[in-house]
Amino acid sequence: MPSILSCLSHVLVALSMPVAHHSFQVVTDQTRCTGTSIAAWSRHGTRASFWSAASSTSSLSAGLWDAPEGASLLNRGSFLDNTARAVQAAYWSQFADDTHLYTGAKPRRQEQKKQLLASTDDKVALAVEAGADSQSQKQTIRQKPFAPTEALLPALRVRIMLDSLAKNLATVESTKNDVDDRMSVLKQMDATLGDTTLMGKAIRASFNTYTANLRFSESYVVTAPEAERRRYIRQNDGLPDVKAVITADLDLRDLRRNELLTLVDDLRAEVRYQLRLFSEASNNDSSSGSMDEVQRLVDDTQRVCNEWFDFIDPKDIKDAMVELQNRSS
């Protein structure tokens, strides 16, 4: 079964277009996530089409996506509707008012995370694709959720510094036993990891700056084979509403961020530990230390960071990189 990340790697969003011939349609509208809340403005007459669901080992529970196995859930936040009970009682009424404010609860602590991970029912995750432009039914415009370029710059700075760690480590050959060379690389890495940009609170703030300004457009088309779609509908009495899909997207971003925080802390500790071992070794004896664990942590750090950026449109990343280079010059 594919992981929830691969399942949601197709998350794309676009302006809505009426789709008359599909069964699953709800009135929805442009939604914007700000800080720990989601505000939805109803535009009557606009329709979004939910099509299908893709298979995954994860589940939808209380509006939250279960985490991939082994994922870090430290201080993960959720976005819950204050009027959830009313929504359950009258599904369509959630779109009747002009404005709905979804206020997020405080970050769940470790015990709550364990309870969330314990939910292992057969509900499946959703692969969400874009809707269509209301101005043109001939061409579908598709893009991922987006935020202003300015909001992506802090997270991009973190990514650049993490990439520099990999470049430093690449200068040391795996078979080379020169203690001085390895100590030199470890000192450079320690200096980079000691920068305030890579401190835990700074990384969290950098990534939160982007998600706090994230915008979602009006329609979400869930795509999957017909058999999977029918199975999901049978098991869950229908498909989730827009709020649940947005919540899933936001929670997955937070999971990747928290996983990155843990890896950076582990890498910092490992670099300093190996630096101490090498400093105690003789000039040409590297038997006391090893770069293997450092290499593994650097690889994992880059992988998780890239997975977080995979939620973002490549064009947005390119534009942010250009903006960052212009500011540096």
Q: E strands within 121-194? A: 128-130
Q: How far is CA 68 from CA 239, 254, 303, in A?
A: 21, 12, 15
**Structure letter (DSSP) for residue 133:** -
First-residue to last-residue Cα distance in the chain: 47
Q: What is the pLDDT of residue 219?
A: 66
Q: Is 192 helix (H, G, I), strand (E, B) or coil?
A: helix
pLDDT given for residue 105 in this prediction: 36
d(CA 202, CA 266): 16
Structure letter (DSSP) for residue 13: B
Place of tokens 């940009």: 197
Instruction: Give the integer Cα–Cα distance in Å for 273 and 264.
Output: 14
What is the distance between the alpha carbons of residues 281 and 287, in angstroms, rounded to a whole number?
A: 8
Query: How many residues in the chain?
Result: 329
Closest by Cα among 55, 2, 24, 38 to 249: 38
pLDDT value of position 144: 78
Q: Which two tokens stand for residue 306?
A: 């890239």
Measured between alpha carbons, how far is 312 from 152 in angstroms, rounded to an integer?
10
Cα torsion angle, 52, 56, 61, 63, sign: negative
Q: What are phi and psi of 13, to 5 degrees?
A: -135, 145
The Cα–Cα gap between 93 and 303 comes to 42
Write out the two tokens for 201: 């609170």
- pTM comes to 0.58
- pLDDT in 10s for each residue of the chain, 329 residues: 444 444 444 443 333 333 333 323 222 333 333 332 232 322 223 223 232 222 222 223 222 233 333 333 333 333 333 333 343 444 334 334 333 333 333 444 344 444 433 332 333 334 333 333 334 333 344 567 889 999 999 999 999 999 999 998 888 765 456 778 888 899 999 999 999 999 999 999 999 999 999 988 666 666 678 888 888 888 888 877 788 888 888 999 999 999 999 999 999 999 999 998 888 775 555 467 788 999 999 999 999 999 999 999 999 999 999 999 999 87
Q: How many CB atoms lie within 10 A of CB 130?
A: 23
pLDDT (0 to 100) of residue 179: 78
pLDDT of residue 24: 31
- Quote helix, strand, coil % in the chain, to nearest 5: 50, 10, 40
For position 257, what pLDDT does the model report? 97
Nearest-angstrom CA–CA distance, 258 and 190: 21
**What is each CA distance from 220 to 25, 114, 240, in whole angstroms?**
10, 30, 11
H/E run at residue 64: strand 64-65
Structure tokens at 41: 């403005």
The secondary element (H helix, E strand) that includes residue 101 is: strand 99-103
CA–CA separation, 78 vs 62, rounded Å?
A: 10
Q: Where are the domains of the chain?
A: 4-147+214-252, 149-203+259-328
Q: In the prediction, which pLDDT does 176 show?
A: 58
- The pLDDT value given to residue 231: 87
C-alpha to C-alpha distance for 87 and 40, rounded to whole angstroms:
14
